[in-house]
Structure 1
């Protein structure tokens, strides 16, 4: 699907507030609410918009640790590890990487004790190195750089 400038404007406005009414969004880009709704439906049907989400204050819900874990696999069969990380709610991002290590995980966890338990489970698949986030400096929606 080829996206035009209007599609990008809609996407940008939805990243700012995914609950915005189509009528209000349309007013900002000089379209009717129905025309905006038709475009959004097309973006959804073509898989451009995969889901809508919300941002939660992690400290208020008890997710006080963010850890970045670099995994060094013991074996070339990674299927069981991939299944394991897909089953773990603590893993919010997982990337297969080139260079040093095999996988890079971003983990949000309640306590240091829970992190230690999680790391012990990882040892079944390989070794790791861990970095803890001290302070988030910037969080950016990658779409905004495109627009």
Structure 2
């Protein structure tokens, strides 16, 4: 699929990752294409699944959450599959990945306060052992995908 992303598409992707609200006209001016040509390329990248969507970035603190944490889970025997279904229903979970290593799951969560964190962990420990890491600050967040050299 990488052969579908030529130099112009990479330039378009860079601009969209920096600001997904850019108009096709503005992108066209930056990359030297007409707005319809940009729109056609964007549509094709959407159809191919290269562009997966356009999202708004929300400040978790201004949305009312005081804590952001990374929680890993090492599932108990027979509890991984039920957990994988249940985790999809948890509003606190903003990212969840099944991983290799000692733990099975790593989640990024937002929580209102420490009491909320405690209740959340109490829900998780039915499925396995948890390890919690409070995020102090973002060092790299939502970095754009770049062309590998």
Whether TM exceeds 0.5 here: the answer is yes
Match of 1:92 among 78, 91, 94: 94
Q: CA deviation at 1:139?
A: 1.4
- Give TM-score scaled by structure 2 length: 0.91
Give a deviation string over 1:104-139, Cα, whole Å, max 9, x none: 111111111111111001011011111111122221
Q: Which runs of 5 or more residues in structure 1 are unaligned?
A: none
SS in 1 for 2:71: strand
Q: CA deviation at 1:144?
A: 3.3
**Equivalent residue runs for 1:1-147 within 5 Å:** 1=1, 2-144=4-146, 146=148
Q: CA deviation at 1:43?
A: 0.7
Q: Which runs of 5 or more residues in structure 2 are unaligned?
A: none
Give a deviation string over 1:59-91, Cα, whole Å, max 9, x none: 111122111111111114522101111111211
**Superposed structure 1 runs of 4+ greater than 4 Å apart:** none
SS in 2 for 1:129: strand
**In 1, Cα distance between the equivalents of 2:135 and 2:107?**
13
**In 1, Cα distance between the equivalents of 2:148 and 2:78?**
36
Describe the shift of the 1:145–1:116 C-alpha distance in structure 2 as closer, same or farther (beyond 3 A).
farther
Q: CA deviation at 1:146?
A: 4.2
The number of residues matched between the two structures is 147
SS in 1 for 2:146: helix
**In 1, Cα distance between the equivalents of 2:131 and 2:6?**
43
- Give TM-score scaled by structure 1 length: 0.92
